[in-house]
Chain A
Amino acid sequence: MTRSLLCAALAALVWGATPASAVVLWQGDANVTAATSACAPGVAGRRDIAVGVILRTLYRPANLSNNGADARFSFVHDSQALYAVFLPGGAIPNGNYASFGVHHNGVLIANASGAYRAFTVSPATVTASTTFVEVMGRLTNFLDIAGCTISFRAAYTPKP
């Protein structure tokens, strides 16, 4: 066991393999292309999510480098709220996600959930050398707001 671990460690050094902790992500912006009225109740402008809103987003594809089995996305609204969704097994186009983050009012979101639908990733297979990635999809319970469903189109480039 020790010997095999040592060999693996040496191999990593020799070939410059990615460190065990390394993950590979893409960063970009997401444009909200549809949103239900629950996303913008109209009582606090800083919280409203509506068509045309731009969300800063990260994409961590599944099964790439040490990214793990789940595909992960995050969306930040105006530096005020963050919503990270984990797609089990990276399965697309449909499924149910687990989510983490923080609401606009500072309340943390821990292990919430919702559904994702009609996800498409272009190109369909993302590798470590892929430069441009586009993702479309729909998320229910967005930002853990009951009844809030958004559709989005997001464009990504690699995050160093």
Chain B
Amino acid sequence: MKRVVLSLAAVAASAAAPAAAETVFVGGATIRTVTTQCGSAATVGDYGRLIYRPASPGLDNGADSYLAFVFNRAAYAMTVPNNTFRINVNYAGQGVGSTLNVSTKTGGITQWTLSPATLAATTPSTTLTATLANFWAITGCTVTFNAYLIRVKSNATDVVN
């Protein structure tokens, strides 16, 4: 566990390097299917804000991609180092639950339907249907969600350090 946390910290630190700008896509996401292993952590109809920061060329987002659900009292943040989110790759996830427990786990992306498939700095919006395993860092919890995201272009100084 400690090693995973440290590696996540390293990834976060590397992403914090100064950049000219960044392009993120923000919108609402609805969870459509869940497995029983999700229990009460993720249920059909859960609706939260989804933030996607892909490592696509021209977005000035660096080499690593980030995808994060932020709910009213909890958040689940994921990253794919040196890649974009896509089918058949693994992500590293960190959840901060509504009990304030922090958990980390890697999981697989078994569906990733993004339209348009590649996001550019001029792409105004995008739709996404994705299936993620080990959601909320829970083994066996697989969810499928729909999201409709709008591009938020930041200015040059609007980069997290």
Pairwise interchain contact A80-B51, C-beta atoms closer than 8 A? yes
B126 to chain A, nearest CB (A): 14
Give every chain B residue within 8 A of A74 (Cβ-Cβ): 73, 96, 100
A105 touches B53 (CB 8 A): yes
* CA A156 to CA B69, docked complex, whole Å: 24
Residue-wise interface mask of B (75-116) relative to A, using a CB-CB cutoff of 8 A (1 in contact, 0 not): 101110000000000000010101111101000000000000
Which of A27, A44, A84 interacts with B152 by CB under 8 Å?
Answer: A44
Mask, A70-84, CB within 8 Å of B = 1, is 001110100111101
> Which residues of B have CB within 8 Å of A84?
96, 100, 102
What is the bound-complex CA distance between A145 and B161, given in angstroms? Answer: 6
For the complex formed, measure the closest distance between the CB of B56 and the CB atoms of chain A, giving whole angstroms.
14
Which label, helix, strand, loop or mixed, suits the secondary structure of the A interface?
A: strand
The residue on A at minimum CB distance from B16 is: A107
Structural contact, A110 and B9, CB atoms closer than 8 A: yes
Chain B residues lying within 8 Å of A107, measured Cβ to Cβ, are 12, 15-16, 53, 66, 68, 77, 79, 160
Option from B11, B70, B78, B104 in Cβ contact (under 8 Å) with A82: B70
Could you tell me if B158 and A58 are in contact, using CB atoms closer than 8 angstroms? Answer: no
Instruction: Answer yes or no: B155 CB below 8 A from chain A CBs.
Output: yes
Q: How far is the CA of A23 from the CA of B152 in the complex (A)?
A: 37
